[in-house]
Structure 1
């Protein structure tokens, strides 16, 4: 600009790009130089200087500059919730600037980036979860406020990542894009029927996480325009076995032959493997938690326990005693003392049987209905021959009964056996002597002459001691009709007080003689007289009369 031969020019100390943007204009008005900047921006903040410039010189470089500071209106939308509905929220929006704006500026409102109305600084309406709103001062539309909107779907992060082991420290973090900023609330989905919150805040911390903390977690992010919940995240706490125990099914009494199942119960993650023991002897190992008896027997009685194990540890259950009940087995019988049972001795009969519960014992004798005794041992004192026979022992409990038989034979006392043997032998000798005597008499009779005047020698000597002697009556001559009558005497000695001995005495002793026995043999003589023969025809010429009297015996026999 030329004035009075001078050229005037205003220089602004500012980046050239901004000076050439066309928004900065230099105007001369009534001897004044004016610098006008349109569409003022925060980037227009700078130091501005004024100076004169002519073809010959410049003047004004020493003038102080003017600093221009441009600030954003710093518009913010303030939200006030009025009510909440099923799918939307009714709220009031206010556009607020941190700067003092001159006059009464107008405001422009935008929904999802699109202008909806020009109005005052407030706006009321229904807001959906996906809607966003912003405002600007009219004329400064380029400087819009940040948008306000309901929270987006929150996300949850777990730190540290990977396996979560019991006792470690774990943090869950919830985050969501929202304006105004969201508030966060944590929930556990499992085991929380009342939907009570666990904690508020963006983080949920476990200082020493436990197995009971396993479950599904989620968070809710919410502001004045609405709220959203996150997807559930699973917290799977790994830990070694604990609370291991053994259960028996069916419960109650265990009866032989029934089906029984033992179950090992254990809390473990991951699932444990199981080892079964009976009295510390390994029975089975594997993932199965049950041990089955399809038909349990008495041999299966005993103490059982199980051990659960995974990579984080192991745990032993307490012991469980299986008491298998069964009916008595076949009883075994024992006689004491063993060997030959002698009359007059004492004998114990013992019955024993394997049974659970323990058996009771009852003794019977064959062919007798009433029991002889009860108890495991049956004692017979002063046993006698009539005690011989079959004895039965019945073992019985609540599950059944079983019976065994025992044959008992009582033999006579030795002294009685000896006496009986001596007596029997003596009787046999006597009978033999009688038959010998008869045989001799018949033989002599057959050789006797037919003359009536002749008589044979009727004497019979049984031994040198003349035990058998011919009586005087035998030597007397009979009448013609009288048969020859021969006598023989047999002497039995008086029984001694000792029952084990008896004597056959060859000599005759009057003081010991108890009884004289006579054996008479009557023979008919042949008669010449036919009449006489006729009268005696009815008589048997071979008639034998024998009388034997048993000697005195001791009453003990």
Structure 2
């Protein structure tokens, strides 16, 4: 015979089930549908409840409320009751951390084991209100290893555009949340935070932001969650391959024959490129005075004619841009190979530099030669030489100024003597035998007139040319 307490409980449950069949509930609870828990760790069950209108007159929040957790079903009481907040000793070690008077029934169980895996219901007890919500339960699954974190990407991973990667790991025991770490093919700075989901469960979110390159395409990234459990750690990780969108890279052109070919022979030009998404258009160009499009397609089959020789290149294009290849030479036997236009450019620049340097040297030479004394020219030199050869030793000149008519001497005036400047330092005279004899005997004296700075000066008698040179200087 069942005890009266158990019979009363069964009757209450039966009446609750009957009322529920007619769309009426005695208690409305809110909690997650499922929680994954690690053995040896704790589990926090977010929980709240509400009292239907038909029972609010019997519910008094000021009276001490008890929260009771029941597992499996209602047929085996009291064995199915695993926790009662009004008792100090329970089958499960735990506590209700929520404020029951504010209808918060959040509960924490400690040191969970694999035997805790089950379905649980909540019952609220007060005087005179007692009710259980059979329509809402939570499934607790206890595992030896943690669940893998989840990696998500915000937006398209495109070359040159910053992108954020998010890694989320459940935190069933908020007192000991997991630590998240990243493995990426580039430098990064993570930002970690504990967040609450819509069902009030907790999780740790780690975010990294970086600018991807095409070199990161198809590289693996890893997010690792480390859960502290007692004195040890348990880890779980999630691997993902980056899918980076980029314009064509490493575009190259090749020709089936590297040697000169005959006219009417067949050659194949091939274009290759790396791109994501794949290249949609290949275009071939020939270099002449300006580039000329000659074909489309990854391969260009050519039946060689006389005018086909020259330089070719290709362009690869996708939705993100295009890439240009190197230039390949198609040489035809019996024809001179065309010169790369870059050669003319280099030669032109070189000749221009040589011409500019020559102008600089020329103007520098003119500038230096313009600094010579203005009072001496070749005419004066020749006249000076004539004067040296004259028997009198006087330098004279009747030359008129350029552009003027020579003046006729007046009849009654003596003819004026014109004087010129002589730089005796530049004259080398050859001593005649007669001059040498006169120098030895000292019988004759020579006189010379020079015009020094526009005035006439008569030199004293000199015994020889050396003395005359020294007197002038």
TM-score (norm 2): 0.36
TM-score (norm 1): 0.32
Q: Which of 1 and 2 has greater Rg?
A: 1
Higher strand share: 1
Structure with the bigger percentage of helix: 2
